[in-house]
Chain A
Amino acid sequence: MPQIITEENLRKLVDLLVKEKKLVVGPKKSGSMVLYEPLGTGSELNLDTLPRRSSKELYFPVCEEILRFRKEGGVVQVDDVDRSRFPETVLIGAPPCDAASPSILDAVFSWDYHDEFYLERRKKGTIIGIACTKCDDACFCSAVGLAPDAQQGSDLFLTPLKGGGFSCSAVTEKGEKLVAAHAPLFSEAASAEPVEFPAQGMEKLDLVMIKQWLSGHFEDPLWESISDICIGCGACAFICPACHCFDINDEGSPDNGVRRKHWDACGFSKFTNHASGHNPRDVQNKRYRNRIMHKFKYYDDKFGKTLCTGCGRCVRACPVGIDIAEILNTINGK
């Protein structure tokens, strides 16, 4: 029999997790926006709106300290960050396009050298994903291999039911443990009929075909035609659940300071600028080409995954109206 949880009990679950000193993060009204933010109580959980930014920053913060340095008596000391202090987290209410993001990013942060900042946060994180009923014109998760009810990346997955409440499936051991530890909040139902998911406007893309085309068209008139209007603002990268490029910089003085890694974007003009002034990606369409290539070819070449969850945020945010889904459709039709 399917296991279900009422909406009231889901909010109680948040309260309990907060009491257990876990950092519970979920969609929350913040000014005029809904953002993923720490929840103080279950009543703050907002399941009606896709948050403006993705949830990836729970594991890969916009900006994070990676070490500190100080000079005492002429001697330089470097102090590591105590990662054991990273809190246990529960991400709750993430739709598939956000819940799936870590399952894609794990590859780059754990191949060969391990980025323990990301991995420690992942180890201590549980994801409660929720099937999505909020699809709008910009959404295209189904086109890139996900779906409004895709469980990829979730530890526990909730599906809204017609009569209210959610059916729950424990996808991983973490999810099972979470349910077992809060068993009184869950119950069994004779039947659980999920709500109907709105169909997305876009057909499923043939990602293999798209990659094949990209492999043979590094040089193509398409790049100029689609991306010369790009102003390189980086908004697409900063709200993307899958973009992972970062910079490393020092702040402070040689005597006392901190080194941080922070998000960067391949759309920025100085991203690849050499010290000599030479820039391999000297015009914006080359930078935009890299964005598409990285997401739909290079990342797949390296890790066998597509670096896009079809959340549509970049489509909604682009100030000049570049629509990545439309570009993929164009390539798909070639």
Chain B
Amino acid sequence: MCQPNKNIYLPNLATIEAIVDETPDVRTLRLVFQDEAVRDSFSFRAGQFAEYSAFGSGESTFCIASPPTRKGYIECCFRGVGRVTEALRGLEVGDTVGVRGPYGNSFPIEEFFGKSLVFIAGGIALPPLRTVIWNCLDLRDKFKDITIVYGARSESDLVYKRELAEWAERDDVRLVKCVDPGGAGPDFDGKVGFVPTVLEEAAPSAENTIALVCGPPIMIKFTLPVLERLGFGDDSIYTTLENRMKCGVGKCGRCNVGNVYVCKDGPVFTAREVKAMSQEF
């Protein structure tokens, strides 16, 4: 894992190959490593994260939002809200960013083979599940039913709109798209309601099914009881925590929830593991 004498804070350089504005303030960068050896050797698992740098501004932590089944590039997706993310937003195609990683644990996708999957995401928290969604769609015959429940505050806050359209058209995916009350435009073709409520109405079967949840703390809080009512056990529910991080490698002491280091022990946890943690989210 760690080469002797290697500077663990040294990023690999990557070129921005494409930029997609998902919403007015959420952007996707597609990145290609400049060093051919890194391009060939870089491998990761769905759920892992990286430290992305805009040189001169610093580093920011995001999941790797593209699936490991798509080789040759990685993608990150972020909202421009701080010094680093604003600087990343200021970069153009062809510009260079730094990437350290991949870090953290991952979703045990092989353990999900032969099961149905329900993805539940809110707002900017779709990217951490999108890597898993595409990973699983690229291995579609390994899974039974795939349901995606995704909601955002308003229609314009929905990210990956092209892919939502693609998933909606596939007959091997059930997409339930929603926006909070007041967030729908006149032509909105999804549901209006909060994610937990919409999930309860959609009522996916819990039988032989894994639920993967990611969203703001308030969404998670109200979604877990719904999943429980639907019959999901705590070992069948996975989530990924998004704490503030700096080093990403268990040194800087900031991402811990109780004695759990999100960067090393996570970011992927089962609901059972989350419930056993000190409640400090």
Contacts and interface: CB of A to CB of B under 8 A. Distances in A.
Interface of A: 66-67, 69, 71, 75-76, 78, 80-81, 83, 108-109, 111-117, 120, 218-219, 244-250, 252-255, 257, 259, 261, 264, 266, 271-276, 278, 280-281, 286, 290, 293-294, 297-298, 301-302
A120 B4 CA distance: 11
Given A67-B10, A257-B56, A297-B259, A286 B216 contact: no
Interface residues of B, number: 50
B243 to A, nearest CB: 7
Interface of B: 1-2, 4-11, 13, 53-60, 79, 81-82, 85, 87, 96, 98, 216-217, 242-244, 246-247, 249-259, 261, 264, 278-281
A76 B56 contact: no
A248 B246 contact: yes
Contact of A115 (B8, B87, B256): B8
Contacts, number: 144
Give chain A's interface secondary structure class.
Answer: mixed
B8 A116 contact: yes
A276 B216 contact: yes
A254 B86 CA distance: 13
Given A245-B252, A272-B243, A253 B56 contact: yes
A69 B217 CA distance: 37
Given A115-B251, A245-B253, A248-B247, A69 B55 contact: yes
Between B79, B243, B258, the greatest number of chain A beta carbons within 10 A of the residue's beta carbon is seen for B258
Given A78-B11, A271-B254, A257 B55 contact: yes
Contact of A280 (B1, B251, B281): B281
A219 B85 CA distance: 35
A293 B253 CA distance: 12
B55 A250 contact: yes
Contacts of B4: 114
A213 to B, nearest CB: 14
A286 B257 CA distance: 12
Contacts of A218: 258, 278-280
B55 A76 contact: yes
